[in-house]
Amino acid sequence: MLTGEITSQSIPSLHLQDKVYQALQMMNDNHVTHLPVVEGDKYVGIVSEDDLLQAENDNTPLSELTQVLGFASVKNDEHFLKALQVAADNGLSIVPVVNAENELLGTFTYNDLLKKAAEFMSLNEPGGLIVLELESNQYSFSEISKIVETNDAQITQLNTSAPDADTGLMQVTLRINKPEVSDIVATFQRYEYTVKYFFGEELYVNELRTNYDNLMNYLKI
């Protein structure tokens, strides 16, 4: 999913002749703390509410504040996750989208990006989540996939983390297309995988506890 395919036009842009008070009012009206600044169709930069509040005069035009403009943006042919990274890295409430000629095509809000990320990871679809922890040299997608498939399930999303600097362990997060994951968890454990977390409709830990209590009650008889 490229940024140019899902760019929103709902967030307005500022112009260099706009005054500080106008920019602050526009931010307030659109519930954001950043806005893009353009000159004609060209993207000039991004201004923040914090920088505007430090201006000595509310009637100062933005053309006199170009030194505080940031330049964060994404190209329209980049994956939308790049926009999410730019927003997170720079603490932005919006991310401008530009083309090869540096023309502003539209803007993402941070909330828009989070919603797209949720859709991308199928978080609205029913299913379970399993997080494995293992040595990076032990990671095998084919083996992990085979274990899931032997339990009549499929992986709909897989993410890996870089190995931890202290432990050397990496995490593999699996999104499974069935909500009952206890059988899959048990299979991973049988193959000596460390299951760090798991989330499904059934509470596997509680089932184990119930079985244990039943056994203890039986032994007391």
Q: What are φ and ψ of residue 139, in 5° steps?
A: -75, 125
DSSP secondary structure letter of residue 164? P
> Looking at the whole model, is its pTM more than 0.75?
no
Give CB contacts under 8 A, 24+ apart, made by 25-28: 27/52
Separation CA 78–CA 98 (nearest Å): 10
CATH number of 128-216: 3.40.190.10, 3.40.640.10, 3.40.50.300, 3.30.70.260? Answer: 3.30.70.260
Pick the CATH number of 3-118 from 2.30.29.30, 3.30.70.141, 3.10.580.10, 3.40.50.300: 3.10.580.10
pLDDT reported for residue 205: 46
Among the residue ranges 2-11, 15-24, 51-60, 68-77, the one predicted with the least confidence is 2-11
Distance CA(8)–CA(31), nearest Å, equals 15
Rounded CA-CA distance 188/147 in Å is: 7
Q: What average pLDDT does the segment 20-24 reach?
A: 97
User: Would you state the structure tokens that stand for residue 44, as one six-digit string?
Assistant: 């000039």
Partner residues linked to 155 by β-bridges: 176
pLDDT tens, residue by residue, 45-64:
999 999 999 999 999 999 99
pLDDT digits (tens, 9 = 90+) for 105-135: 999 898 888 888 877 776 667 788 899 999 9
User: Where are the chain's structural domains?
Assistant: 3-118, 128-216
How do residues 189-218 score in pLDDT, each as one tens digit? 999 999 998 887 654 444 445 555 565 665
pLDDT at 81: 87
66 vs 180: CA distance, rounded Å: 55
Tell me, what's the pLDDT at 115?
Answer: 84
